Amino acid sequence: MPKADRSSSQVLDILKDRLGTYVSGNFLAAAANLSRTGVWKHIRKLKAQGYHILTHPKEGYQLVDLPDRLTPEEVLPHLRTSWLGQNYHHYVEIGSTNDQAMLLATRGAPHGTTVVAEEQTRGRGRMKRTWVSPPGCGIYVSTVFVNPLPLRVAPQSTTAASLALVRVLRRHYSLPALIKWPNDVLIGGRKIAGVLAEMQSDQDFTRFLVIGVGINVNQKGRDLAGPFRYPAGSLATELGFEVSRRDLLVAFLQEFERVYETFEREGFEGILPEYKALSAMMGKRIRVQRGDEEIAGVASGFSSEGALELLREDGTLERLWVGDVTRIGNFDAT
């Protein structure tokens, strides 16, 4: 963790230990090995990150409550990864974390650079849709991968993100999460998360790849009302209680690093059996929108290159590389 973040983290830890009471500037300065001005600068930064800190000219500083923030001070001390998220950028508000990650990547950001925002004002989804990203209740995270991937392999890398998230939701929250091809995460037919990948490439290889993930965590009522083309849910609505975004983000990044490493080593085939087992569509009648055309059939598998295999009524097997699944069984899926 950079020194500045470490000092803010120390100041924050002391204020957290004394939650609801004042701590003097002198005490903070001595404990965090900072000058009084240094303390004040870190307090100002923490306030800008959204911490509710009171300042009293004589008594010092008081942290009023414990907000669920995704700041480096909250996330990095808990993150057990080798490279994913170790270069961590946090924004209180941003247009789109994917745009910011692309920008950082063009400027030479290292492999695993991670951009997180509390709120997105221009969050984007697949098919030019909007990703509604209200402040403080979802996870909006984009990760940069600069290790070159062959271009025919790159699109399947996104499955590492949805698979990692589904693993975490099942193992840590006992939620029956499934994947809707290519990368939507569903619980009980409701969309909880989506993945948007963008890249720049040289001739045959990626120059860099950005994988953005949006997770509905503590959204409720109005924030889930739309305008969506699909029934949306959140972890809070599924579980009946609020979830720590910090814990979920940490668990997700750790699992994502693991699955991505498998993908780099073994390709899509290395994760295909689990991806297929966790598919919301296998063996079901589905409809897929591909451009202007709607194709119906039974979802029967995935090719080793990540194409969806659809058994048509006339007995032919169609391989789909892109598309939007609009119906699964009797349920509308978009």
Binding site for ligand BTN (CB under 6 A): 96-98, 120, 123-126, 129, 131, 140-142, 184, 194-196, 212-214
Q: How far is the CB of 5 from ligand BTN (least distance, A)?
A: 22
CB of 310 to ligand BTN, least distance (A): 21
Residue nearest to ligand BTN as judged by C-beta position: 194
Minimum separation from the CB atom of position 124 to ligand BTN (A): 4
Q: Which is nearer to ligand BTN, 195 or 310 (CB)?
A: 195
Q: Look-up: residue for tokens 């946090």?
A: 90
Rounded to whole angstroms, the Cα distance separating 174 from 167 reads 10
Nearer to ligand BTN, 11 or 195 (CB): 195
Q: Decide whether 27 or 228 has the Cβ nearer to ligand BTN.
A: 228
What is the C-alpha to C-alpha distance for residues 171 and 321, in angstroms, rounded to an integer? Answer: 30
List, in order, residues 6 or more apart from 30 with CB less than 8 Å away: none
Q: Which is nearer to ligand BTN, 51 or 230 (CB)?
A: 230
- Least distance CB 94 / ligand BTN (angstroms): 9
**How is 223-271 classified by DSSP, letter by letter?**
GGS-S-SS-B--HHHHHSS---HHHHHHHHHHHHHHHHHHHHHH-GGGT
Q: How far is the CB of 188 from ligand BTN (least distance, A)?
A: 17
Q: Under a CB-based contact definition with an 8 Å cutoff, are residues 237 and 220 in contact?
A: yes
| Cβ proximity of 250 and 161 under 8 Å | no
Q: Work out how close the CB of 230 gets to ligand BTN at its nearest, in angstroms, rounded to a whole number.
A: 9
Q: Which is nearer to ligand BTN, 15 or 117 (CB)?
A: 117
Nearer to ligand BTN, 62 or 289 (CB): 289
- Of the two residues 126 and 190, which places its CB atom closer to ligand BTN in the complex? 126
Q: Are strands 114-117 and 88-91 parallel, antiparallel or unpaired?
A: parallel
CA–CA distance, 77 with 250 (Å, rounded to integer): 10
Evaluate the CA torsion angle 70, 74, 77, 78 in order and state its sign.
negative
For ligand BTN, the closer CB: 129 or 170? 129
Nearest to 198 by CA among 118, 264, 261, 144: 144
Q: How far is the CB of 306 from ligand BTN (least distance, A)?
A: 17
- Judged by beta carbon, residue 212 or residue 267, the one nearer ligand BTN is 212
Q: How far is the CB of 257 from ligand BTN (least distance, A)?
A: 18
Sign of CA dihedral 217, 223, 227, 230: positive
Closest CA to 184 of 292, 284, 278: 278
Strands (E), 38-189: 53-56, 60-63, 88-91, 114-117, 138-145, 177-180, 184-187
Task: Provide the β-strand partners of residue 199.
Answer: 209
Please name which of 117, 110, 119, 70 lies closest in space to residue 86, comparing C-alpha atoms: 110
- Report, in Å, the least distance between residue 211 CB and ligand BTN: 9
